[in-house]
Amino acid sequence: NRVKKQMGAIHGKPLPSTTPRGKPMIPTAGSAEIPLARSSVFIESRDFAAEVTVAQFFVNTSRNPVECDYAFPLPMGATVFKYEVQTEDKLIKGQVMEKEEAHNQADDAIAQGHGTYMLEQETETKFKASVGNLPPNGWACVRLGFLMELGAHLDTIRLLVPKALAPPVGVRHSRIPADVLQRVGPLFEARFTTSFVMRNLRAPASPGVLIRPVEGGHGATVRLEGEHLKQDLCIEFEADRPAMGSAWLEPSPARGTAAALVSVFPQIVEEPDLDDLSPEINFIVDRSGSMSGGKIAAAKAALQVFLRSVPPHCRFNIIGFGSSTVTCFPAARPYDDRSLAEATAHVDLIKSDLGGTELIQPLDQVFGRKADPHFPRVIFLLTDGQVNNRDECIEFVRLHVADTRVFTFGLGTDCDHDLCEGLAKAGGGLCKFVDHASDGLEAIIITQLNQAMKPVFVPSGVHWKIPAGLRLRQGPFNLPCAFAGERILVYGLLEPAPAAPTPAA
């Protein structure tokens, strides 16, 4: 009855390759399953930080006790702080311990016929939970608590809830007591509290969402009923004071500590003239089968706008990818009337006809060439993100981004938001999402292109005024870079300072 977690990378045994995407049930050695019966997601959000609790019920429908693993996907950058398992007769709370010790205790418990529940981080966005010796017709409710940040740009704030947190159920929950289910709550509920007035709260492309603003505008409740999330749930709103810093302080009298959350929006005064720049711009376009229909139409429309908006002294190329790649030019060409005409004709012929989604290959085509310091290199990636190696792609960008910035456009309502945001974050760029070609595409592209040409704010640090008798631990210690209008979050933990040593007599 242990939870194992380690800060940084944790490596466990890989999950079976046959695991259905977004479904947490994993076949055991005896071909049994523990199907998912019910999911619930509850979020408590304050300004830019959210505490998320996910509850998932499983029922053993086989005739024998079973042991199984299931994959639990997390949003990019989330931090787990709680792991609990409730069964018919007990509530088990996880403990943090060293990896090897956790494995040994779990093995001993299973050998003695006891149930064991273990949580392990496999990648930045995936945890693996082990559930052992669940009896026939028995049920278990796994609760996972984690912290995540809300996205923000200027006055728009966004909470993204991946659909994989509440996937389709595999069995009806008739075996689970009604009073237990009643305590779980609806499929999704979020409670927002803000230091500013919320405006235009909405859930685009998510019918059925119930939104109830709090009187005065400093909060709201959002609910969604149902059995599972059919698509990623995106909740957006504006702040009444755009790009203004704010701070939260949450004391804990019992511990004598306090946690601080500070948001900063850097202002960059001097910006270059777009016409004076000479970047190398590589447009990488997803042409896999999943891009058919409206998504490939949005990609082509975006490319046509891009081609008529880039700096006149740039070099550029278009790389289409799927299972293979197709380029417009053998290498990046100077922008002129001839290259524009050829690229325009090339875009007109683009189709979603290149098979699977192998993203690393086109990225390697760009990163594999030495960058010209006279032409700062930029990648604009247009994709729906339907890859099978999300973390590998993000890490590939992170390892090769020293001389290249990566900006992403997520296309379609079923776009993999974690991939697109993760690639942009790893590549020092920004991410935008476009559901349809008509969704203000030109304005989005111009904004993204202008951002890509702007300088980056590199913070040197934060100066804290600490009251006497306290000390502060800051996270992250090294602050991330940001563009003008982008937000930087800084956390601090105030705790009693150690007593000064008594001078020797």
Provide the 10 A C-beta neighbour count for residue 188.
25
Alpha-carbon distance 3 to 118, whole Å? 5
Q: Is the pLDDT of residue 131 over 80?
A: no
Alpha-carbon distance 357 to 387, whole Å? 6
Token match 């456009």: residue? 409
Q: Three-state SS for 470?
A: strand
| Mean pLDDT across the chain | 81
**pLDDT at position 200:** 92
* pLDDT tens digits along 208-240: 899 999 988 999 999 999 888 888 888 999 888
Alpha-carbon distance 22 to 162, whole Å? 9
Mean pLDDT of 90-118: 78
Phi-psi region at 205: left, alpha or beta (left = phi > 0; alpha = psi -120 to 50): left
**pLDDT at position 9:** 20
246: enclosing H helix or E strand = strand 246-252
Token match 């760009």: residue? 366
Output 322 or 398, whichever has higher pLDDT: 322
Reported as a pLDDT band with limits 50, 70 and 90, residue 4 is: very low
CB 98 within 8 A of CB 47: no
* pLDDT tens digits along 357-371: 999 999 999 999 988
Reported as a pLDDT band with limits 50, 70 and 90, residue 132 is: low
Alpha-carbon distance 25 to 67, whole Å? 11
Beta strands in 98-138 (DSSP E): 116-123, 126-134
**pLDDT at position 348:** 95
Beta strands in 47-101 (DSSP E): 49-59, 66-73, 79-87, 91-93, 96-97
Decide the pairing of beta strands 377-383 and 280-286.
parallel
From residue 161, give the alpha-carbon distance in Å to each of 39, 83, 203, 417.
Answer: 13, 19, 11, 9
Quote the tokens at residue 197: 């007035």
Q: Is the pLDDT of residue 97 over 50?
A: yes
- Percent of the chain past pLDDT 90, that is, above it, reads 33
Peptide bond connecting 476 to the previous residue in cis, omega within 30 degrees of 0: yes
Mean pLDDT of 279-298: 93
Reported as a pLDDT band with limits 50, 70 and 90, residue 93 is: confident
**pLDDT at position 8:** 20
Tell me which DSSP letter residue 398 carries: H
Reported as a pLDDT band with limits 50, 70 and 90, residue 7 is: very low
Output 134 or 173, whichever has higher pLDDT: 134
Per DSSP, the chain holds a count of helices (H) and strands (E) of 8, 28
If we measure between CA atoms, which residue out of 234, 183, 191 comes closest to residue 212? Answer: 191
Alpha-carbon distance 63 to 141, whole Å? 20
Tell me which DSSP letter residue 181 carries: H
Q: Is the pLDDT of residue 68 over 70?
A: no
**pLDDT at position 275:** 57
Alpha-carbon distance 353 to 14, whole Å? 31
CB 26 within 8 A of CB 69: yes
Contacts of 187 (CB under 8 A, 6+ apart): 39, 40, 41, 166, 224, 225, 226, 227, 228, 229
Q: For residue 160, what are the β-bridge partners?
A: 234
Q: Is the pLDDT of residue 3 over 50?
A: no
CB 4 within 8 A of CB 118: yes
Task: Give the phi and the psi of residue 243 in degrees, each rounded to 5.
Answer: 55, 35
**pLDDT at position 29:** 36
Q: Is the pLDDT of residue 51 over 90?
A: yes
Mean pLDDT of 7-21: 26
Mean pLDDT of 383-406: 88
Alpha-carbon distance 378 to 371, whole Å? 10
Alpha-carbon distance 220 to 216, whole Å? 10
List the single range of 246-260, 300-314, 452-466 with lowest mean pLDDT: 452-466
* pLDDT tens digits along 172-208: 666 676 776 776 788 999 999 998 899 999 998 778 8
**pLDDT at position 90:** 79
Q: At what angle do helices 390-399 and 360-367 cross, to 10 degrees?
A: 0
If we measure between CA atoms, which residue out of 107, 145, 103, 154 comes closest to residue 127? Answer: 145
CB 26 within 8 A of CB 134: no
Q: List the Cα angle 352/448/439 in 5-degree steps.
A: 60
Mean pLDDT of 252-267: 87
Quote the tokens at residue 485: 């209008």
Q: Is the pLDDT of residue 32 over 70?
A: no
Alpha-carbon distance 148 to 193, whole Å? 15
List the single range of 174-178, 268-272, 431-435 with lowest mean pLDDT: 268-272
